[in-house]
Amino acid sequence: MSGAMVSAVLMLLVVHGIGAPADREPGAEMPAVGPRGAVGADVPLSDAEEREFATRVTVEGRTDGAVQAACERALEEGTDAVFLPAGRYVFQKEVRVPGGLTLFGEGPTTLCQTEGRDTHLFRVDGDGVRFTRLKLQGADTSQSKTNNTYGINVSGKQNIRIDHCELLGFSYATNFASEATAQVDHCYIHDCPRDGLGYGVAVYSGAYVLVMDNEFSQCRHCLASNGSLDWGSPRRLGRYVHKPGFRKTHWEFTHNRVNGDDRTRYRLCAVDTHPGMDGTFVVENNIFENVRHGVGIRDGSGIIRGNLFRNLSGRRPVGISISYGEHNGIPVEGCMPHDVEVQGSVFVSQGAEPEKYRIGRAENIIIDGQLVPQTRSGDRAQAPMPRLVPMDAEGILRVARRD
């Protein structure tokens, strides 16, 4: 595509709200793709938040112990908010956050940083926890495999919110497992290129997670997902099997911007389902730009709709791939991408045209209303898919269903 044609297409996209900047003037029409509203830890608290957090416990000291003590004091006093003033907090061990607390800081000047290469910053110990206006940093922003740091761990807890934070340098920036429910919104998550891991958001074992209105950059996977696999089963059975009793994983990745992956090894897909993620997903109204591979689906079913792919580059760039795969060369019980609806993708390129869709072994893949012929299959019954309703004023992430 020529430079003139690119300019014309970009102008058309902006006129229709696609790919326009997120930082518009107040009252202006929001963009159709990408974040809606300001992103990152430096966004001021709203008036309502200022009032809500007026009664709070302030952390005294700059250590994990000081943060833990403030959380315990807030629990004892019946106070919902813990305030971390500006400063550098060095964590030698994980802080366990009781249910019902909001931890908030003064934006990027409140830095919580791991001291060791195996340190985890926060573990959520109850429902209804929120993190906001904090900067969290792990051990390394390189590809080093010795970086085993985590930002926020959530296992089995409900209605967790992480918003208006900056996270970087982790093996796992955020981690959701064991049927947790959570929302990650208006965060800046970047520079997590750790080879072999390097996850901005990890979702597995029946977690339901809504990821919306965020900025991502230089993560090995901005979002990676899986089901509830028995990780020891290959030694016994020669394949991965699912643990019984877990619900199917479900996540939604909407109105995010992913920009850049050239500092990661192999430049893998920004958003993915691993073999074993036999649940459901939604990828909708996002911008993927300056990456090699946008969306990679190797299991599960869902919707990929209304996304902008701009300036994909590198070796064999591709917007969306859907194909069966094994987990590190080992087959997974029941694994098959199926019943995926792809609609309204927009591709803009300043160089060679990327491969828009790469469809391999899969079942019932529909692109813009047309069934991909080699994927036709009538053998699998499609169950209703959950849809997540963004958190309300009470901090509840509700689940609706779509037939």
Q: How many helices (H) and strands (E) does the chain have?
A: 4, 37
Beta strand extents in 260-381 (DSSP E only): 271-273, 280-284, 287-289, 293-297, 300-305, 308-310, 318-322, 337-343, 346-348, 355-359, 363-367, 370-371
**pLDDT surpasses 70 at 5:** no
In a domain, 47, yes or no: yes
The residue assigned the tokens 């160089």 is: 351
Give percent of the chain above pLDDT 90.
89
Domain total of the chain: 1
Q: To the nearest whole number, what is the mean pLDDT of the chain?
A: 93
Tokens of 215: 């900025």
Judge contact between 272 and 304, C-beta under 8 A.
no
Res 12: pLDDT: 37
Does the structure show a pLDDT above 90 at 112? Answer: yes
Residue 288 falls inside a structural domain: yes
Asked whether residue 163 is assigned to any structural domain, the reply reads yes
Whether 25 shows a pLDDT value over 80: the answer reads no
- pLDDT above 80 (res 21): no
Percent of the chain scoring above 70 in pLDDT:
92
Q: How far apart are CA 398 and CA 289, in angstroms?
A: 31
Cβ-contact 243, 230 below 8 angstroms: yes
- Is 251 within a domain? yes
What CATH code is carried by the domain that includes residue 256? 2.160.20.10
Whether 197 maps to a domain, the answer reads: yes
Q: Are 71 and 97 in contact (CB under 8 A)?
A: yes
> Is 397 inside a domain boundary?
no
pLDDT, greater one: 26 or 62: 62
Radius of gyration over alpha carbons of the chain, in Å? 21
Structural domain of 130: 38-377
* Burial degree of 178 (CB within 10 A; 0-12, 13-18, 19+): middle
pLDDT digits (tens, 9 = 90+) for 283-330: 999 999 999 999 999 999 999 999 999 999 999 999 999 999 999 999
Could you give the CA distance from residue 253 to residue 213 in angstroms, rounded to a whole number?
A: 9
Among residues 134, 138, 166, which one has the least CA distance to residue 151? 138
Between these two residues, 352 and 102, which has the higher pLDDT value? 102
pLDDT higher than 50, residue 90: yes
Query: Residue 109 CA to chain centroid, in angstroms?
Result: 24
Assess if residue 170 is contained within a domain.
yes
pLDDT digits (tens, 9 = 90+) for 329-386: 999 999 999 999 999 999 999 888 899 999 999 999 999 999 999 999 987 777 789 9
Say if 330 falls within a structural domain: yes
Q: C-alpha distances in angstroms, 171 versus 122, 219, 274?
A: 14, 9, 17
